[in-house]
Amino acid sequence: MGARGETWLWILQRATAAVLAGAVLVHLATLVYAVRQGLSAAAILARTEGNLAWLGFYLLFATAAALHAGIGLRTVLREATPWRGPSLDVAVLLLAFAIAAAGWRAAFGLFA
């Protein structure tokens, strides 16, 4: 990947970090709230089903997490192993897509 690609990955990594910083807090607050209130699965679903705000939030969260993990893993592998070049880029892209797909599936599961 050339100068433009590396720079865009860096920008993306910073941007997704900023999103995650907020999203993780919201996610944790939601978790604590659900546990404290002793909300059942049904009660949680009742709040999230058909709720576009939660759907949007979790789609964004999952996408940011997938991109952030993919870019970070690429960096770690390039430093810790001799694996570099296009095959690595494709592999982490596939992994990022798998993470995102799992997240999106869960988000839609809460929505519909």
Partner 1 sequence: MTATLHVSVWRGGAVGSLAAYDVPAQDSQTVLDVVTYIQRHLEPTLSYRFACRVGMCGSCAMTVNGVPRWTCRTHVRRVASGGRLELRPLENLPVIKDLAVDMSDFFGKWSRAHGAFAPAAGLGEDFARVAPESPERQAASAGIECIGCGVCYAACDVVRWNPDFLGPAALNRAWTLVNDCRDGDGAARLRAVAGDAGCHACHSQQSCALYCPKQLDPTAAIAGLKRATAKAALWGKL
CB of 15 to partner 1, least distance (A): 10
- Does residue 91 belong to the site contacting partner 1 (CB under 8 A)? no
Task: Specify the residue, 11 or 46, whose C-beta has the smaller distance to partner 1.
Answer: 11
Give the chain as a 3 state SS string. CCHHHHHHHHHHHHHHHHHHHHHHHHHHHHHHHHHHCCCCHHHHHHHHCCCHHHHHHHHHHHHHHHHHHHHHHHHHHHHHCCCCCHHHHHHHHHHHHHHHHHHHHHHHHHHC
Taking CB under 8 A as the criterion, the residue among 11, 18, 46, 98 binding partner 1 is: 11
- Does residue 2 belong to the site contacting partner 1 (CB under 8 A)? yes
- Does residue 7 belong to the site contacting partner 1 (CB under 8 A)? yes
The type of residue at 70 is G
- Does residue 36 belong to the site contacting partner 1 (CB under 8 A)? no
- Does residue 9 belong to the site contacting partner 1 (CB under 8 A)? yes
CB of 96 to partner 1, least distance (A): 18
